[in-house]
Amino acid sequence: MDFDTPSEWVDFGDALIRFIDREVAALEHEHRALLGSERTLYGEDGRYSPAVLALRRQVRMRSAELGFYTALAAESLGGGGFDAQAAVYVQERLNAHCGPERHLVQTVVLPSPFTNGLSPVLRHLDPSVLATYRDSLASGDKTMCFGLSEPDAGSDVFGMRTRAERSGDHWVINGTKQWITNAPYADYAMIFAITDEQQARAHRGGITGFFVPTVTSGFSVPGVIPVMGHLGADIGIVTLDNVRVPDTHRLGAVDRGLAVALDGVNAGRLSMAASCVGLARWALDQALAYAQVRKTFGQTIADHQAVQFMLAECAMDIYACKSMIRHCAWLVDKDLPAAKEVSIVKASATEMVSRVMDRVIQIHGGMGLTNELRLEAGYRWARTMRIPDGTSEIQRCTIARRLLNGDTAF
């Protein structure tokens, strides 16, 4: 591995941070009354208010105009072609600079790796169909959601109850999806359904993906799911009632949709891990600054060994996770087996950021519990990351299964 950071990554990161600091921060300041309160951020139904949605769209499209929004997407889709190593560098740097809960930054300036923008899942869509939608997705004008999880099918995807049946040149989809990020606002949805009961029961396939415009008759988002201290959310419930989708809108081969879905999920897991390292670094920087000005018993708390140990443990956690993420990204770029390693970094990084946030709040004492410093927002965000894109427990199952099947190299 080459541990040098290429100058083009640094230049891109510098330009990205300048854009955020100059343009996005100016919008945040101008609309601070709107963005600064949960009561104005969301409407009574828990959805982002129209004014917030308009601002998010404005930032997305400006980011796309400047080349940031699609930089991490594959060149084959028309993106910038940044590889996995470049992507984790950018995600880490973005989160280390911005911290948590900036509603015009996270998943807006750079889209979620598989939910939005030029998602890798789109590589499995018929090229002529993709050509119809590509420009609006690349420009940030239109957005998507990724519909795999259900009320009774999260980690156990074969437990899904959504079904798709062939009807001539179309498929008819019925079912419910839950925990779907961006569902309340998406223009298009990537929906996965059982198409062969026998294969699905045997856990050998039987799932197919479909690209569905959300204006299609029978597609609806009846509610959002607020989580951990929020009055609203970008997470929704999707219902599909006899939704007809042309076979041309199928994502990949019939009954092979799980591999298509995991193509996106694995990219998301690696990106999430890098984001966790970035947020942990942001939190550690807050703690370092505070520890050197806050005084107790006649000296700064940085002089107390108990605080020094917490700072050191944060650094140890961050360094370990950053190193493993870079190695995992290198494996992905070399097209080497990395299923085990992706699960290792996802579980490790999401658990690490929770430990770091907990220590940093402890270092800040009472100030750490206030909303003012955004540490409690980071703590809530960190806690949620151990569940989406595969829980910590399911990652451990994957790791153990790979080890028992002979994948023991490190």
What the block records as the tokens of 221 is: 């988002």
End-to-end CA distance of the chain: 14
Query: What pLDDT was estimated at residue 346?
Result: 97
In the chain, the percentage of residues whose pLDDT exceeds 70 is 100
pLDDT mean over 270-293: 97
Q: Name every residue whose Cβ is closer than 8 Å to that of residue 184 and which is 6 or more positions away in sequence.
A: 47, 48, 221, 224, 233, 234, 236
Q: Name every residue whose Cβ is closer than 8 Å to that of residue 136 and which is 6 or more positions away in sequence.
A: 142, 187
Q: What are the pLDDT digits (tens) for 341-376?
A: 999 999 999 999 999 999 999 999 999 999 889 999
Which of 81, 176, 152 has the alpha carbon at shortest distance from 120? 81
8 Å CB contact between 275 and 95: yes
Query: What pLDDT was estimated at residue 115?
Result: 86
What are the residue ranges spanned by the domains of the chain? 7-138, 144-255, 259-404
The pLDDT confidence band at residue 215, using thresholds 50, 70 and 90, is: very high
CATH level 3 topology of 7-138: Butyryl-Coa Dehydrogenase, subunit A; domain 1 (1.10.540)
Query: What pLDDT was estimated at residue 156?
Result: 86
Res 82 pLDDT > 90: yes
Res 384 pLDDT > 90: yes
Q: What are the pLDDT digits (tens) for 389-398?
A: 889 999 999 9
Class of domain 259-404: mainly alpha
Compute the chain's Rg from CA coordinates: 22
CATH level 3 topology of 144-255: Butyryl-CoA Dehydrogenase, subunit A; domain 2 (2.40.110)
Res 113 pLDDT > 90: no
Q: Name every residue whose Cβ is closer than 8 Å to that of residue 380 and which is 6 or more positions away in sequence.
A: 228, 229
pLDDT mean over 163-178: 97
In our burial notation (b when 16+ CB lie closer than 10 A, e otherwise), range 254-277 reads bbbbbebbbbbbbbbbbbbbbbbb
Query: What pLDDT was estimated at residue 152?
Result: 87
The pLDDT confidence band at residue 114, using thresholds 50, 70 and 90, is: confident
pLDDT mean over 318-345: 96
Q: What are the pLDDT digits (tens) for 242-266?
A: 999 999 999 999 999 999 998 788 8
Query: What pLDDT was estimated at residue 2?
Result: 86
The pLDDT confidence band at residue 155, using thresholds 50, 70 and 90, is: confident
pLDDT mean over 5-15: 96
Query: What pLDDT was estimated at residue 1?
Result: 83
Q: What are the pLDDT digits (tens) for 43-55?
A: 999 999 999 999 9
